[in-house]
């Protein structure tokens, strides 16, 4: 899903894979330590994320499958990316572990 928003007074594009059931939040996603490094667990290593992971942005919590992104999606969700209009959209891939 792609949403155009105003962020800090400038136009921005928010992208996500719309897998809200797998979104834990960047501060809540479980990690694993391996060979002296830390990695976010991949989707196959985790059950579905809680509907309320207990993190909020401006008093707004995680939305499940919204029509547009909210503050939590933009600032907390590990599955979303904030991009400049016209730039290449960066997509997270949680089919594998990602280094913290």
Residues 15 and 3: their CA atoms lie apart, in Å, by: 7
| Over residues 66-79, mean pLDDT | 94
- Report residue 48's pLDDT band, with 50, 70 and 90 as the boundaries: very high
For residue 98, the model assigns a pLDDT of 95
Residues whose CB is less than 8 angstroms from the CB of residue 82 and which lie 6 or more positions away in sequence, other chains included: 7, 12, 13, 14, 74
SS3 of residue 13 by DSSP: strand
Phi and psi at 90, nearest 5°, equal -90, 125
pLDDT tens digits, 73-88? 999 999 999 999 999 9
**What is the chain's mean pLDDT, rounded?**
94
Q: Which of 62, 67, 68 is nearest to 27 (CA)?
A: 62
- For 9, counting Cβ atoms within 10 Å of its Cβ (0-12 exposed, 13-18 middle, 19+ buried), the class is exposed
């Amino acid at each position: 899903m792609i949403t155009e928003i105003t962020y800090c007074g400038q136009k921005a594009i928010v992208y996500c894979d719309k897998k809200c059931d797998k979104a834990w939040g960047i501060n809540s996603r479980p990690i694993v330590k391996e060979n002296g490094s830390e990695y976010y667990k991949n989707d196959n290593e985790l059950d579905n994320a809680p509907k309320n992971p207990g993190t909020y942005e401006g008093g707004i919590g995680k939305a499940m499958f919204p029509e547009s992104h909210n503050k939590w999606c933009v600032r907390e969700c590990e599955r979303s990316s904030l991009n400049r209009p016209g730039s290449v959209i960066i997509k997270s891939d949680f089919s594998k572990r990602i280094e913290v």
